[in-house]
Amino acid sequence: MPQLDTSTWLVTILAMILTLFILIQLKFHKYSYPLSPAPKTFKSTSFPTPWETKWTKIYSPLLLPQQ
C-alpha cells in the first residue's frame, strides 16, 4: 500500500486559512457602520389603567386589628 504524502498539507491549510480570512474581511468591509451611533427615540404609548384614576389603600397585616 503506498504511503500518503502529507508534505503539502501545511501549505494547503495555511492557504485555506488565509483565503477565508481575506474573504471574511472583504465581506465585513462591504457594510458601512455609523461613526457615532445615536440612541433611537421610541414613542412611549401609555395605556390608561384603572388604578391610575382610583385611590387605593394597601392594608398592612400588622396594622389590622387583632382577632
Angle at 49 between CA 48 and CA 52, to 5 degrees: 95
pLDDT mean over 6-13: 90
Cα-based angle 4, 8, 11 (whole degrees, multiple of 5): 150
CA 13-16-18 angle, to 5 degrees, is 110
Give the global pTM: 0.44
Q: Which cell goes with 9?
A: 498539507
Average pLDDT over residues 14-19: 97
| 13 against 31, higher pLDDT | 13
* Greater model confidence, 46 or 10: 10
Q: Give exposure, 44-57, as e/b (b: 16+ Cβ within 10 Å).
A: eeeeeeeeeeeeee
What per-residue confidence (pLDDT) applies to 53? 59
Domain boundaries, the chain: 7-32
Residues 34-65 pLDDT 10s: 777 777 777 777 766 666 556 656 666 666 66
